[in-house]
Structure 1
Amino acid sequence: MAGIAQRPGRVRYTILAMLFLVSIINYADRSILAITAPLLSKDLGIDPLQLGIVFSAFGWAYVIAQLPGGWALDRFGTKRVYLIGITLWSIFTAAQGTVLAFGAGAAVSILFALRFLVGFAEGPSFPGNARLVAAWFPAAERGTASAIFNSSQYFATVLFAPIMGYITFTFGWPYTFFFMGGLGILAALLWTVTIYGPRAHPRVTDAEIDFIAAGGALVELDRNAVARPPAIPGEMAANLRILLSNRTLWGVYIGQFAINTLTYFFITWFPVYLVQERGMTIMKAGLFASAPAICGFLGGVLGGVWSDWLLRRGYSLTIARKVPVVSGMLVSLAIVACNYVDTNTLVLLFMSIAFFGKGIGALGWAVIADVAPRKTAGLSGGLFNMVGNLSSILTPIIIGGILKSTGSFKLALVFVACNALLAAFSYLVIAGKIERIEDAPDTALRPAIA
């Protein structure tokens, strides 16, 4: 009986399941405009460059929100800040279905503004995911846990692209926004009864707390966050100096920027590519996009499992994280082959290979959970996500400009592949040793007591 009493519990997997569910809705709300774009752009009378600018509205706000969102997570705790975010982004998503009521001219500006607000509300989400994974999972499970919540971007397409395609085709594109907004509100309600810090969870056992803490989980993270006094002037600046002066973090930041270029091609322009370049209907494009998404999901989970397996086999954390990232990015270069084939079957094959590789290499959040200073995990994740998501601004606009200039996606796919090479180079050459960064000493942040 004593052995049974000491067996670690599995509450942490309930936390991970909730992160996965919310992240699926998060990414579905980001990609909803891509599914509805072929019809929406006709109704609003906008060209590809204008559509790219509307796509980028999310990215502008998402990037701006990262540092304040990360600070808020550290200051007020993950559960509270994340809940506010889910509720707000769901309301703003539903509101996008009403833009036609304002007339085609005003609708474009209002759509841009609502996409901007969705991006700002989603700002704390993935730093919050990384924060909860750092708090709930030991280092040997962190790669898999991070890969699972990060792979939600693919599962969102698998699950929701066909559904959103059907709603758009059958009822009209506004109803797709209403559907997703309502689903987000339901997720917010579920969040309130599911997410807690390790020490505060009503069902966690002492054995599980001891197990994850012994493995490096930051079990006091949210408890410390809500107990901290308000930040003094200069505290954030001091912490930022530490983060911005670290070479390994810069390698991870640049790598995430490049990896996210592949992500934002997929969730913005990929359905348009299938409709305009490959001549598919919206419903067929939604179904077609599911295959690369499934491969990306499988690659994402495999990358995390592979990384943690290398760690358990005795390889260093540096090797365990870098090998899957670099390997996956090299595999994702297969996307260029789509420029040289004529059949949609081969396009499906090469896109699937490319996003399988991208999934394997998407371990940036695991690395941030490994290296972030203990007291500034939210700020660290926010800075990482801010730099990484600059591509959410640039990618839609650059690809929109390429399309307007050339009328073809060929150069756009080359642009995406070049970013895969940049990601591999960044992790292989720029990033150094993967290890936890020391916090700034409190004496450096706070004035002496008289």
Structure 2
Amino acid sequence: MKNSGKKTNVRYLMLVFMGVAMLVNFIDRATLSVAAPVMSKELGFNAADMGWAFSAFGWAYMLCQIPGGILLDKFGSRLVYGLAMLVWSVFTFLQGSIYLFSSAFITLFIFRFLMGMAEAPATPASSRLSVQWFPDNERGFATSIYQTAPYVALGVFTPVLSYVISIFSWHYVFYSAGLLGIIFGAFWLTFVRDPLKHKSINKEELDYIRDGGGIPELGSAARKSQQTITWAQVKSMCATRMMIGVYIGQFCLTSITWFFFTWFPTYLYQEKGLSIIKVGLVAAIPAIAGFVGGIIGGMLSDYLLRKGYSLTLSRKLPIVLGMLLSCSIIVANYTQSVPVVIFVMSLAFFAKGFGNLGWCVLSDTSPKEALGLAGGIFNTFGNVAGILTPLVIGFIIQATGSFDWAIIYVGSMGIIGVIAYLFIVGKLERMTLGATTSPQVSSTAVHN
């Protein structure tokens, strides 16, 4: 640790690593959606088959959230995240070879499932790191950076991966994304450290993080020795009204995300008749809008908090406004104009990004004793959408031959999310796990 009078800013370097890691994460998730229009035609997969293939990731991702959270609290974000990145990147790479197996569909499902298992700790690890490295009044911005990775993945890499398909074949989408993840995973394990173990941070920055509500000591041996989490306490974290509302809201936001990460390129290819190159370029536009919305939403939330507004208003206002505006996606059913469709989709994705502060809310309200586990529980509920959304849309398309009802399904998620945050969540406060099995709420741990 450095000794100097001026505060260092190592936390921003760690934020770069967090952002790139999440970018790699979502590039790997997006590979199948980009390859799907060509792959499904070549291998003879129908809409229902692709729905199951898209959902394979979600099944594993959801089931492994709580085990992943436990691993994070035990071994820390640096090690668990880094190793997970290497493993999921290997399974991404292997998806390019499914045509070599006797049953390409079963092999694809297995590889996607194993990839989902490995990716389970990723977002909870980022949430945990944001608490270690950032004070409360910077955490909205920090969260918006790593949570806008999906938009960058779609906006920048969908055209790139589509070009790869047009020049080579769909196999190389998986090969290139897998190699990228393996290389960055090695960089992560080499350079990322917890605050107390980072050689470049000084006492002034540690004090700044700590005094602002961050927990640089999270993951230290002393803190681990104090953790005695029981299953009764885990159950209690799932049963509070505040968290139930937050879980419902996250399910709704994740549903919108998974439409764009699974069926959107196919929607443009089949429903709107665009070529695979045009699909890559057009799909980038809503993603860029989502990126902009995510940054603005996070900055607005932190600005409101710095101005003295309550934690509840500062976090909930962007979320409610964003989810309400995301319902505009339904307008796409009432126009045949591709530019209008892209505008509507861009507006909906901007709104989704603007309101994508669920992980920030989790960081603000979870028990400090079990941030990794709390993130796992949160992501378990939220990513039920990773299973249902691709399956429901696949069955709708198979049954109706159209995306119309699928778009209505996605748009309805915004209304449900608004209802959850307005009428269920209530006041946002930090939960603590006391000596009993029921969590208590600490009114001094938040900005009122």
Common fold: TM-score over 0.5: yes
> Quick one: distance in 2 between partners of 1:92 and 1:79?
21
Cα offset, 1:224, TM superposition? 4.1
What does residue 448 of structure 1 align with?
none
Question: Do structure 1's residue 354 and structure 2's residue 348 form an aligned pair?
Answer: yes
Question: Do structure 1's residue 144 and structure 2's residue 146 form an aligned pair?
Answer: no
> Quick one: distance in 1 between partners of 2:271 and 2:87?
35
Cα offset, 1:99, TM superposition? 0.7
What does residue 194 of structure 1 align with?
191
What does residue 66 of structure 1 align with?
65
- Which residue identity is paired with 1:218? I
What does residue 262 of structure 1 align with?
256
Question: Do structure 1's residue 47 and structure 2's residue 24 form an aligned pair?
Answer: no
Counterparts of 1:81-230 in structure 2 under 5 Å?
81-103=80-102, 106-224=103-221, 227-228=224-225
Question: Do 1:54 and 1:115's aligned partners in 2 also have CA atoms closer than 8 Å?
Answer: yes
> Quick one: distance in 2 between partners of 1:239 and 1:443?
5
What does residue 12 of structure 1 align with?
11
SS in 1 for 2:130: helix
Question: Do 1:321 and 1:363's aligned partners in 2 also have CA atoms closer than 8 Å?
Answer: yes
What does residue 75 of structure 1 align with?
74
Instruction: Describe the shift of the 1:75–1:297 C-alpha distance in structure 2 as closer, same or farther (beyond 3 A).
Output: same
Question: Do 1:92 and 1:117's aligned partners in 2 also have CA atoms closer than 8 Å?
Answer: yes
CA offsets 1:166-198 (integer angstroms, 9 cap, x no match): 111111011110100000011111101321111
Question: Do 1:242 and 1:440's aligned partners in 2 also have CA atoms closer than 8 Å?
Answer: no
What does residue 314 of structure 1 align with?
308
Question: Do 2:4 and 2:202's aligned partners in 1 also have CA atoms closer than 8 Å?
Answer: no
Question: Do structure 1's residue 387 and structure 2's residue 384 form an aligned pair?
Answer: no
SS in 2 for 1:402: helix
Instruction: Describe the shift of the 1:444–1:254 C-alpha distance in structure 2 as closer, same or farther (beyond 3 A).
Output: closer
- Which residue identity is paired with 1:70? G
- Which residue identity is paired with 1:135? Q
Cα offset, 1:343, TM superposition? 1.1
Question: Do 1:331 and 1:354's aligned partners in 2 also have CA atoms closer than 8 Å?
Answer: yes
Cα offset, 1:6, TM superposition? 3.7
Cα offset, 1:148, TM superposition? 1.1
Cα offset, 1:5, TM superposition? 4.5
What does residue 245 of structure 2 align with?
251
- Which residue identity is paired with 1:14? L
Question: Do 1:63 and 1:386's aligned partners in 2 also have CA atoms closer than 8 Å?
Answer: yes
Cα offset, 1:10, TM superposition? 1.1
Question: Do 2:230 and 2:437's aligned partners in 1 also have CA atoms closer than 8 Å?
Answer: no
- Of 413, 416, 419, 2:410 maps to 416
Cα offset, 1:8, TM superposition? 2.4
Instruction: Describe the shift of the 1:436–1:308 C-alpha distance in structure 2 as closer, same or farther (beyond 3 A).
Output: same
CA offsets 1:374-424 (integer angstroms, 9 cap, x no match): 110000000000000000000000000110111111111110011111111
Cα offset, 1:236, TM superposition? 4.1
Cα offset, 1:442, TM superposition? 8.4
Backbone CA RMSD of aligned residues: 1.7
Cα offset, 1:435, TM superposition? 1.4
SS in 2 for 1:417: helix
What does residue 446 of structure 2 align with?
none
What does residue 423 of structure 2 align with?
429
SS in 2 for 1:433: coil
> Quick one: distance in 2 between partners of 1:264 and 1:236?
33
Question: Do structure 1's residue 237 and structure 2's residue 231 form an aligned pair?
Answer: yes
Instruction: Describe the shift of the 1:81–1:228 C-alpha distance in structure 2 as closer, same or farther (beyond 3 A).
Output: farther
- Of 332, 336, 342, 1:338 maps to 332
> Quick one: distance in 2 between partners of 1:6 and 1:437?
35
> Quick one: distance in 2 between partners of 1:392 and 1:444?
30
Identity %: 42
- Which residue identity is paired with 2:41? K
> Quick one: distance in 1 between partners of 2:18 and 2:4?
28
**Where does the alignment leave 5 or more consecutive residues of structure 2 unmatched?**
440-448
Cα offset, 1:144, TM superposition? 0.9
Question: Do 2:233 and 2:438's aligned partners in 1 also have CA atoms closer than 8 Å?
Answer: no
> When the two structures are superposed, what TM-score results if normalisation uses the length of structure 2?
0.95
CA offsets 1:215-258 (integer angstroms, 9 cap, x no match): 000111021488549x88xx441331220122111111010001
> Quick one: distance in 1 between partners of 2:297 and 2:133?
20
> Quick one: distance in 2 between partners of 1:207 and 1:442?
36
**Where does the alignment leave 5 or more consecutive residues of structure 1 unmatched?**
446-450
- Which residue identity is paired with 1:45? G
Cα offset, 1:438, TM superposition? 0.8
Say which is worse superposed, 56-65 or 237-246, in terms of deviation: 237-246
Cα offset, 1:283, TM superposition? 1.2
SS in 1 for 2:64: helix
CA offsets 1:405-450 (integer angstroms, 9 cap, x no match): 11111111110011111111111111021111012338999xxxxx
> Quick one: distance in 2 between partners of 1:293 and 1:15?
24
SS in 2 for 1:437: strand
